[in-house]
């Protein structure tokens, strides 16, 4: 994976809905939401102008849960509000081990090369809440919670400097994306009652 210098255009409608030939939240989304996913290992390498990173994950599981974050009947894993035209879904991802490593590549300052940043966690999970519009499946709001059982991390001065460079690089990309979103947003629409 590589980070983009300029943000990509928005994705548009749900690819699931488009493949199923529909434009609304419906059967295809419910089938995908009902999937229970198990992956033995994932390795992702990220290249940026400021850093190279690797992301390794073992024993990943993804599934739908109810609002109390418990596995239950799939009909209880979503809350639909027909008056607002929105649906709220709940997901949980769990893993056995997660290892993240990042190493600075852009050393524009006269600082010595930084030490790679390493983070290892055991028994973690992410809880995801998604609110989508039913008419086009676009995400209106989302919430992510990272819950880690064990966090193994030693942070040195040079790693702290490297972390600041990584954060600076990522914040630039996020700012460009936010500017793109604002420029593509429709002008304020007046609602007639």
Which tens digit of pLDDT belongs to each residue from 168-179? 777 777 787 778
* Range 55-59, long-range pairs (CB < 8 A, 24+ positions): 55/98, 55/99, 55/100, 56/97, 56/98, 56/99, 56/100, 57/95, 57/97, 57/98, 57/99, 58/95, 58/96, 58/97, 58/98, 59/95, 59/96, 59/97
Bridge partners, 45 (sequence order) = 54
Residues 6+ apart with CB under 8 A from 53: 45, 46, 100, 101, 102, 103, 166
What is the distance of C-alpha 89 from the center of its chain?
A: 15
Domain ranges of the chain: 41-164
Predicted pLDDT of residue 193: 44
Whole-model pTM over 0.75 = no
Q: How far apart are CA 87 and CA 107, in angstroms?
A: 46
Residue with tokens 């972390």: 163
The SS3 call for residue 73 is: coil
| pLDDT tens by residue, the chain, 193 residues | 566 666 666 666 555 555 555 556 666 677 777 788 899 999 999 887 777 889 899 999 999 999 999 998 888 888 989 899 898 999 999 999 889 888 776 555 545 556 777 888 888 999 999 998 888 777 888 899 988 887 767 677 777 777 777 777 777 777 877 787 777 766 544 444 4
């Amino acid at each position: 994976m590589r980070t983009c210098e300029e943000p990509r255009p928005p994705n548009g409608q749900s690819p699931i809905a488009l493949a199923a030939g529909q434009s609304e939240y419906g059967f295809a989304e419910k089938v995908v939401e009902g999937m229970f996913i198990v992956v033995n290992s994932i390795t992702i390498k990220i290249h940026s102008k400021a850093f190279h990173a690797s992301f390794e994950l073992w024993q990943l599981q993804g599934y739908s849960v109810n609002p109390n974050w418990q596995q239950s009947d799939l009909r209880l894993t979503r809350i639909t509000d027909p008056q607002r035209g929105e649906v709220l879904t709940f997901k949980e991802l769990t893993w056995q081990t997660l290892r993240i490593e990042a190493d600075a590549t852009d050393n524009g300052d006269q600082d010595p090369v930084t030490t790679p940043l390493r983070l290892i966690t055991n028994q973690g999970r992410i809880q995801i809440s998604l609110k989508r519009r039913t008419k086009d499946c676009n995400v209106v709001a989302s919430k992510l919670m990272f819950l880690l059982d064990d966090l193994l991390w030693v942070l040195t001065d040079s790693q702290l400097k490297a972390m600041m460079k990584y954060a600076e690089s990522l914040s630039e990309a996020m700012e460009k994306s936010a500017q793109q979103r604002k420029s593509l947003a429709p002008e304020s629409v007046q609602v007639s009652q």
